[in-house]
Chain A
Amino acid sequence: MGSYALHRTGAAIATLAAASVIIFFFIHLIPGDPIHVLLGDTATPDQVDALRAKLGLDQPIILQYFRWLANVARGDFGTSIFFQMPVLKVIGDGAETSILLATITMIWITIIGVPVGVIAAMRHGSWLDQGLSGVAMLFASIPTFWVGLYLILIFAAWLGWLPSSGYPSIFEQGGLANLRYLLLPSLALAAPNAALILRLTRASMLDVAREDYIRTARAKGIRPMRVILRHILRNALLAVVSAFGFTFAALISEAVVTETVFALPGIGQLVVQSILRRDYPVIQGIILVTVVLYLAVNLLVDLSYRLLDPRVELQ
């Protein structure tokens, strides 16, 4: 187990190094530069050149890369060209929103997707199964922004129960009560993902239920509920947990539409805006952090297989 973890960590670091090269050079290949965005419509060529020199963007690209890499190795991700603030502070601000949003969404997905998937599998072929599968298909097909806008309209504009948009930090006035700002966006984000987890749980459960050892367990007279929970669900969860890993990482970096609709200061929106502004240090920082996150989540998922199924050998 120890050597396996070491091996996987080494591979992750190599991936990270390769990613850093791709991130840096691809971002700088995009036409346009932040100076024009910063100085606006009427900047003269002299003003543009002067500011470019001041920000070090006139240096050879290779030199800029190694300077960035050396700083990152020391934990300095640079300063945001647009916000004039340390990149880690800008990313940290967005990360709080994204991590909390993803966590609450995962809770919705887990408490809706898995149990309903189990119920659908238990009643396989019945009207209940078909009804639940139909609803899941519906939610998987409806665009998130549409669900989001209707949630805002109903719960914020009409009923006035929940805030329409924005998210003040839980570390600000209001404390944990500020999590109410994330209820509607997490529901919107959970809808399609819970539907997919539901379908995945159902399908995995049905696959496992056809295995010989399940028939054996039933033949031995084990109580049906125990067979389902102990033998079918536990084995079916292997596939579901893999999906959870990817879903969580994706929720952090890809919740752009939901963040836009609910005006959430998350990582997804930050990366899109930073690309439009050509705020290179922020884009590089976010992508690097995201790569690390993906690698870490996948590593954890791999390691968790062993816990769920002792037969899985880690090599």
Chain B
Amino acid sequence: MIKQFLRCVIVVATLVSASSQSMAAGMLRYATIGEPPSLDVQMSTATIVATIGQHMFETLYAFDSKYVPQPLLVTGEKVEDGGKKLVLTLRQDVKFHNGQAMTADDVVASLKRWGEFGARGSLLMKNATSVTASGKNEVTIVLSEPNGAWKNLLAYPEGGPAIYPAAIVSAAGNKPLEPKDYIGTGPFKFGEWRPNRYVELTKFDGYVPLKTAGDGYAGARTASFDTIRFVPVPDVGTRVSGVQAGDYEYAEFISGDLYDSLKSNAAINVHRNGAPLFGLFFMNSQSGILKDNFALRRAISAALKEEQALSVSFGPKALWEADGAIYPKGNPWHTQDGVKNYNVGDAAKAKQMAKDAGYTGQPIRLLVSTNYQAHFDQATVFTKQLADAGINVQMMVVDWATLLKLRGQGDQWDIFVTHHGFVPDPLLLTFMNDSYAGWWKTPEKAKLMAAFTGTADPEARIKIWAELQALVYEQVPAIKVGNAYSYDIAAKKLKGMGESTVLWPHFWNANY
């Protein structure tokens, strides 16, 4: 009797399992850590928005695997008037998901909205005196001053200038697009968004890929999957079990303690992110004890042993490196110029430096959120290290939404903790932005920034960036914790993902 019952259970379970597998044919299921706030990539800098959105929305340029911007929706450009006039020639074979052909009017409307309301639009467009359709397939941007980062800014999709149809983008204004308006030019189009269940994209049959081979985000994009489902699976253990059980083909942000065992698992591929994240402890340059007191900031920096915080928060050595340079080794922007006081952890020296800076034990308020475990771990380690150096740090632990609100109020904190994703141009770094919380704005910075944005010569820009990095270590607007490489896992059958991701995983040119 019991044997018969068990036999029945096995047969039913096998059938159920088989039907689940067949349903997934042609479908890629991606277990995400959470849900996107919207999929309007122009308006949000959330990683998950870019990860999903890049499949639907495209920018005029796209980064190749070496982080060099290559034409995507344009065929090329002319740079005139010493870099102040950019004439972009658009491709003529690009269609939106609603069937309309992409025209210069769409590009102009999208760039204007991005410039006015987009998360990163002002970096380029604040100096734009005009953006016009100078032909059916030609757009001209005129700047009051040259901007050496213009192509990188047009290529970076996170909070970047995605191209939408003019009618949609003009109607949306400063409000994030609604799902019905998710019309782009990418190889996948919007399917359905079921709150808490999934965001579904489907293959766009009208997509015309470039003739050049796919390289990073650049070149030909070919969709093999009929459907991609991004499923929120908040628990990391469930994401891992889900891939092992065949319920998902891809899962992101796996915890460091599982790295070694998953790396040796024959049924799973591990994809380490090619571009590191890095924690940042921002100093308050607007008010409070750290305002203008660069010497005290350097004392704080000298007290920290960053590798301890990295080890606690990320685990295996393969997933982090204690490097004070803002850009990782191998990247064209990498330089060790000016890096000092990094990973020193000298309490006695820091104590003396703090005393010399006039510090007498006043409390320093450190604002940190519990939503990101790494932030909290790093803040805890640093608070202990600073206490050893006689620096009195008081942690203010709040949730992320509260932190975002409080950090806008300069009188509420002295240091706040966040992290930064890899950005392909230093201009995109948050601490380079005068109005970003922390409000680092000094004459020395302004002078170097003017020189940095004023030239398009790559070598000159790299040289000026080295000086800017040295200034970061001199004035300490923020302390970099170190490079952290997140990693994802994929089912063995998923091909075409490469060794590591460029910025975020993408599933055009991938297949089973």
Contacts and interface: CB of A to CB of B under 8 A. Distances in A.
Interface of A: 30-34, 36-45, 47-48, 50-51, 54, 80, 82-85, 89-90, 93-94, 145, 149, 152-153, 156-157, 159-169, 173-174, 177, 180, 260-263, 265-266, 269-270, 273, 276-278
Nearest to B412: A31
A149 B237 contact: yes
Interface string B45-72: 1100100000000000000000000000
B438 to A, nearest CB: 12
B4 interface: no
B247 A156 contact: yes
Contact of B159 (A40, A50, A145): A40
A87 to B, nearest CB: 10
A33 B117 contact: no
Interface stretch (B171-179, B321-329, B339-347, B376-384): B171-179
Interface in B227-275: 231-235, 237-238, 241-242, 244-247
B233 A166 contact: yes
A39 B399 contact: no
Contacts of A277: 37, 401
Contacts of B9: 161
A273 B196 contact: yes
A173 B23 contact: yes
B351 interface: no
28 contacts: A32-B401, A32-B403, A32-B405, A33-B405, A34-B401, A36-B405, A37-B401, A38-B176, A39-B43, A40-B44, A50-B117, A50-B174, A93-B194, A93-B195, A93-B197, A152-B237, A152-B241, A162-B16, A164-B242, A164-B247, A165-B238, A174-B19, A177-B16, A180-B16, A262-B238, A265-B194, A265-B196, A278-B401
B106 to A, nearest CB: 23
Contacts of B238: 149, 152, 164-165, 261-263
B398 interface: yes
Contacts of B92: none
Contacts of B196: 93-94, 265-266, 269-270, 273
Contact of A84 (B16, B176, B235): B176
Contacts of A37: 37, 400-401, 404
Interface stretch (B107-115, B354-362, B428-436): B428-436
A111 to B, nearest CB: 16
Contacts of A278: 401
B401 A36 contact: yes
What are the 7 A-B residue pairs with the smallest beta carbon separation, nearest first?
Answer: A32-B401, A265-B196, A161-B13, A36-B404, A32-B402, A263-B233, A156-B245
B98 interface: no
B175 A39 contact: no
B241 A153 contact: yes
A239 B353 CA distance: 69
Contacts of B46: 40-41
B119 A43 contact: yes
Contact of B13 (A149, A162, A173, A261): A162
B170 interface: no
B226 to A, nearest CB: 14
Given A42-B120, A83-B193, A156-B242, 5 more contacts: A38-B44, A42-B45, A160-B17, A161-B13, A269-B196
A265 B119 contact: no
Given A94-B195, A162-B16, A164-B247, A263 B44 contact: no
Contact of A165 (B117, B175, B242, B398): B242
Pick the most buried of A152, A260, A273: most chain B CB atoms within 10 A of its CB: A152
A44 B435 contact: yes
Contacts of B119: 39-40, 42-43
Contacts of A161: 9-10, 13-14, 16-17
A304 B184 CA distance: 57
B442 interface: no
Interface in B141-186: 159, 174-176, 178-179
Contacts of B34: 273
B401 A276 contact: yes
Given A37-B37, A83-B195, A166-B247, A269 B371 contact: no
B336 interface: no
Contact of A51 (B174, B400, B401, B436): B174
A38 B16 CA distance: 39
Contacts of A173: 23
B392 interface: no
B195 A265 contact: yes
Contacts of B448: none
Interface string B371-393: 10000000000000000000000
Contacts of B398: 31-32
A180 B232 CA distance: 19
B130 interface: no
Nearest to A265: B196
Contacts of B35: 82, 273
Nearest to B198: A166
B406 interface: yes
A261 B436 CA distance: 36
Contacts of A159: 13
B20 interface: yes
Nearest to B43: A39
A42 B193 CA distance: 25
B129 interface: no
Contacts of A166: 197, 231, 233, 242, 247
Contacts of B371: 276
Contacts of B49: 40
Nearest to A151: B241
A54 B108 CA distance: 25
B207 to A, nearest CB: 26
A42 B433 contact: yes
B408 interface: yes
Given A44-B122, A261-B237, A165 B195 contact: no
Contacts of B433: 42
Contacts of B10: 161
A47 B432 CA distance: 19
A31 B120 CA distance: 26
B418 interface: yes
A189 to B, nearest CB: 15
Nearest to B123: A42
Interface string B195-239: 111000000000000000000000000000000000111110110
A48 B247 CA distance: 39
A94 B232 CA distance: 14
Nearest to A153: B241
A270 B14 CA distance: 32
B127 interface: no
Contacts of B45: 40-42
Nearest to A168: B197
A263 B246 contact: no
A84 B194 contact: no
Interface in B451-487: none
